[in-house]
Amino acid sequence: MKLLSGVIRAYPWGSRTAIARLRGEQPTSAPEAELWFGAHPGGSSLIAGTPLIDIIAADPAGTLGPRVVAEFGERLPFLMKILAAAEPLSLQAHPSRAQAMEGYQRENAAGVPVSAPMRNYKDDNHKPELLVALTEFEAMAGFRPLSETSVLFDALACPALERYRSMLVGDPAEEESNLRALFTTWITIPTTARHQLIDALVERARDHLSSTSECGWIEEACKNLLALADRYPGDVGVLGALLLNKLTLQPGEAIYLEAGQLHAYVHGMGVEIMANSDNVLRGGLTSKYVDVPELVKVLDFHSLRRVVRHPESDDSGWDHYPVPIDEFSLAATTLNADESRAFAITGPTIVLCTNGRALARSGAEELTIGPAQAIWLPAGAGSVELISQHPGTQLFRATV
């Protein structure tokens, strides 16, 4: 059992205050977008100054356990983060494992350096991800059913949209092909036509909001359109975002995103866990490289109807967030002062504190962690008891 030091990633969309305040520090001069806890080659956490990735490499079976090594190889299968968005992230999707392996090999064969800005596949792994909100958290996630998008078209009453109306109607069995056709049309629309369409949509969204006192999902979609168009004027991602579910998570609620599901986090702070990968295909709302054909190749054009997920509690006092993959498992608990939770270590585990303070006890070892601090527990650690030293101590447990 060891203290695990997170690694800050200073992406432009990050907050200058959220992670700093969580740590009890003053706001920073640079954005702090993510705080990584894991063993990713692009940013490994440290134990007493030594990268966790090196500690695992020196003893894979001892740190990960024979079961994990047999199934996932000699690397930690997951990456845990605190994510703090002050501005929208890029519109993006992640490849499946098969797509990642093929793309990684293809770009290697073409001689594209892994560090190149035009590289799509940084590794050969997929990147399913789960985000649990710590604050109110705004996000766009998955394509909205076309029947609902048709209702949005009606509310906007924008003549420039009518030429695309035929792609919204038809047999429900054709929804996937219709979504593909509409998204592909919009993401490849000529620049002048794109700007004209976005300008028309912005005007109609403003008119709609000024003429209603309602605050339902249509109004949220309009506000989101205006915010994105203001932040990224003329960007093709503004059109893509119009087809996505827009939602606001409350603390404790979650989003799970599988391969190919288009999404963009907008604002807020959360705990995120994903398969240990950095593969991202972007479709707008960014100054980074956008590869439209590759993005369309990996996208899943099924509409996403179940977006917000809630935890399932058990008798142990942990709230679990079930996911249909094996790389990671995430659970959370909130403790009163002096209340404790004990659990057995069945694989490599990271315990992250997001509020309060807790004493961790494993055998003769004891460690104390506070907000934005974490503990690394190798596969052979046995069992751990977590004892709250503060009312409302919140802990997240990540394992395989």
Binding positions for Zn(2+) are 92, 94, 129, 263
CA distance 47 to 59: 15
- Binding residue ranges: 92, 94, 129, 263
Tell me whether residue 282 is one of the annotated catalytic residues.
yes
Residue 9 sits at the vertex; the CA angle it makes with 11 and 281, to the nearest 5 degrees, is 60
Catalytic residue (choose from 16, 75, 144, 282): 282
How many Cβ atoms from other residues are within 10 Å of residue 333's Cβ?
A: 21
CA distance 120 to 282: 9
Q: Are 245 and 218 in contact (CB under 8 A)?
A: no
In the three-class reduction of DSSP (H, G, I as helix; E, B as strand; rest coil), residue 57 is classed as: helix
- Please give the torsion angle defined by the CA atoms of residues 293, 296, 297 and 299, in that order, rounded to the nearest 10 degrees: 160
Closest by Cα among 400, 396, 388 to 351: 396
Antiparallel, parallel or unpaired: β 43-44 and 34-40: antiparallel
Q: Are 303 and 172 in contact (CB under 8 A)?
A: no
Expressed in percent and rounded to 5, the helix, strand and coil fractions of the chain are: 30, 30, 40
CA distance 168 to 384: 54
Long-range contacts of 53-60 (CB under 8 A, 24+ apart): none
130: β partners: 256, 273
368: β partners: 359
What is the set of active-site residues?
Answer: 282
